[in-house]
Structure 1
């Protein structure tokens, strides 16, 4: 076989193998990165949905409990006044389909729009459980109210029950206040969560913790067992396990997206890579065939450089002078590796964008999670600080969002000044920040020390143009211990933050 043929075959095989390795490596890396990004986004959506549902239930149960503590509920003598209170609550919060007050025997003595007034609900769980104490029941179909409430759509009516016992001033149980929440509120929450994203491509399901049936989702699946299809969908989930003093009904929130849609950009990138690879392969085959004889002498050095690239090393490509054909081949190989390096640099840049808050330049929720996953491989405890600015809304309202953005950026800089290089500050919401510290003492002691430092630096004025702006901050401190999730640790620090807010703001609580 002629030397030119050897060169032609050798160059063809080397270029083909190089392009295969490069395209497969980039495709796999990009596919995994994009999949993780989609999974993270779906996880955040599931958590957001669960959190909103828990906050909604906490608010409605709190409103009913507040009504139960009013003076007319201590005697049940003034039925007209009680009815007016119930109707006013329903008018203010239309998600209450029905609210009623019973005597101690379960007879309805007052109700919104007088529905079921005089009726006996003593056999219903909302009374039987409510007479014993606070009761929040899972989703169920309408029974007594099915034919009494307006239902213009004709769809199946579903409710969530809330009830509390009523006691007189001596502490004796004298009745029950009960309410049915229309399950329509869950659809409204879902619409709110899906509004900022492409809701035609993402599905949300709410699944009962009791029997695994679908409570909210595709209409054809409601009432059936939820079936995961990970061969077709990318899926994430979160548990609605309560908010503050509301314990939650442990609904499982599933959020999923069709793989074809979610990874469409990856498929397109793979197609581009293969197309470029095919074009480059053809180009090099033709060059090898045409210039085979001319490049036979320096071929050994070129093959050696390509072999280095093949096994992941940075190739030292030689530059040949004197023979035009060899110079062109050498230059083309340089351009090929430069293009591959640019692609990898672009991928690294995209990964940095995913982990960084666009406004402040510090880490976002994704960056916080990645830092947590890496750090907890080496440490068994962390200090966790949840920070919320006090008075920030007034700055936005009085000076505009430009001033608000300026304050957020300056706050981010000051927070970074209070921690060490190997610790992290992340912005996870509008004016909400989380700090993770690596303690050399007990986590709460370190958290308290840094919290005082943060309050001091945040309280200093911010000079925006000719204005001196002032904000404070409330901080909740907690610790993360080995075996726990980041979500649990942040939930504890959020509870401490709530206590700090309630105690007067611009302070910290453990």
Structure 2
């Protein structure tokens, strides 16, 4: 007996199979893992398509081999398709994590960008414990770019980034929020320990080139004493950083 319902189910599964094959064609060269997952999904859908077709035909012709094809197709196709869905879910989770990390990372230096440091700040500030917000600005970057070229300028920024990140270590989070400007969130410590860390950074950055006009200016603020919002804390730290920069210019 002809069953229109079974025909509709077969057509729906066949259309989904066609769509998956088309999607595989467009993603095959870009995302190998995705293509591998698609192949498993397509394999399961292909078996399910055969099974739904056999189910439709079986409603018209009562043959045992059609019934066997239907049973095998639904069983194997269902299992393979479920495996494909699990792999696809894992792939999607991995891709979302990579995209989130990429959105929070400065692509030149590999440290946090502005979005990244803002997210870390929101998490740290919720604990309501005091901590330092430190602003660092490289001195002489434009001179390096104009004199030696942008490749050397990028090297100057990259080496300075490594120095700052190594000195801060696990005590805080380092970000690059502009061309040669950095923001650090540092766990609260004594002012003497903070000044020693800043001196260490200044010394190592100034050693990158033997030029007295190159170095780094630093200023800081304290949460929550100087503000409860990152923008306010950066403004205070920025003001102190420019005082530091001015004092270095006066010395030179």
Identify whether the pair has TM-score above 0.5, normalized to the shorter chain. Answer: yes
The one of 480, 488, 501 equivalent to 2:223 is 480
Shift of the 506–434 alpha-carbon distance from structure 1 to 2, 3 Å rule, reads farther
* Aligned-residue offset at 1:498: 1.2
The 3-state SS of whatever aligns with 2:107 is coil
Mapped to 2, the partners of 1:408 and 1:391 lie a distance apart of: 11
Equivalent runs, 1:328-407 vs 2, <5 Å: 328-407=77-156
Deviations 1:328-362 (A, max 9, x none): 44233222221222222111111111100111111
> 3-state DSSP class of the match of 1:440?
coil
User: Kindly tell me: are residues 335 and 477 of structure 1, through their superposed partners in 2, closer, same or farther at Cα, counting changes over 3 Å?
Assistant: same
The offset of 1:367, in angstroms, is 0.5
Q: Does 1:503 align with 2:247?
A: yes
8 Å CA contact 2:217–2:245 kept in 1: the answer is: yes
1:456 aligns with 2:200: no
1:406-421 equivalences in 2 (<5 Å):
406-421=155-170
The structure in which a higher percent of residues are helix is 2
Conservation of the 8 A alpha-carbon contact between 2:51 and 2:73: no
**What is the distance in 1 between the residues matched to 2:206 and 2:87?**
50
1:490 aligns with 2:237: no
Q: Which has the higher contact order (CA 8 A, sep 6+)?
A: 2
Where 1:429 maps in the other structure, the secondary structure is: coil
Q: Report how far residue 481 of structure 1 moved.
A: 0.8
**Structure 2 unmatched runs, 5+:** 1-5, 10-37, 56-66
Which runs of 5 or more residues in structure 1 are unaligned? 1-7, 13-275, 297-322, 463-467
**SS of match in other structure, 1:504:** helix
Deviations 1:256-278 (A, max 9, x none): xxxxxxxxxxxxxxxxxxxx9xx
Report the CA distance between 1:446 and its aligned residue. 4.1
Secondary structure at the residue paired with 2:106?
A: coil
Residue 66 of structure 1 corresponds to which residue in structure 2? none
1:366–1:328 Cα change, 3 Å: same
C-alpha spacing 1:331/1:485, structure 2 compared with 1 (3 Å): same
Shift of 1:325: 6.5
Partner SS for 1:420: helix
SS in 2 for 1:435: strand
Contact 1:381/1:479, CA 8 A, preserved across alignment: yes
**Are the counterparts in 1 of residues 48 and 77 from structure 2 also a CA contact under 8 Å?**
no
Evaluate the alpha carbon distance shift between residue 386 and residue 325 of structure 1 in structure 2; reply closer, same or farther with a 3 A threshold.
Answer: same
Cα gap change, 1:506 to 1:452, in 2 (>3 Å): farther
Q: Deviations over 1:48-96 (max 9, x none)?
A: xxxxxxxxxxxxxxxxxxxxxxxxxxxxxxxxxxxxxxxxxxxxxxxxx
What is the distance in 1 between the residues matched to 2:200 and 2:164?
9
Q: Partners in 2 of 1:395 and 1:329 — Cα distance?
A: 63
CA RMSD of aligned residues (A): 3.4
CA drift of 1:294 comes to 6.8
Question: Which structure has the highest strand share of the two?
Answer: 1
What CA deviation, in whole Å up to 9, does each residue of 1:88-121 have, x standing for no partner? xxxxxxxxxxxxxxxxxxxxxxxxxxxxxxxxxx
Is 1:389–1:474's contact at 8 Å kept on the other side of the alignment?
yes
- CA positional deviation for 1:500: 1.1
Instruction: Give how far 1:363 is off.
Output: 0.5
Matched residue SS, 2:248: coil
The 1:393–1:453 alpha-carbon spacing in structure 2 relative to 1, beyond 3 Å, is: same
Question: Residue 185 of structure 2: SS of its match in structure 1?
Answer: strand
TM-score by length of 1: 0.35
Partner Cα separation in structure 2 for residue 506 and residue 434 of structure 1: 25
Contact 1:395–1:469 (CA<8 Å) still a contact in 2? no
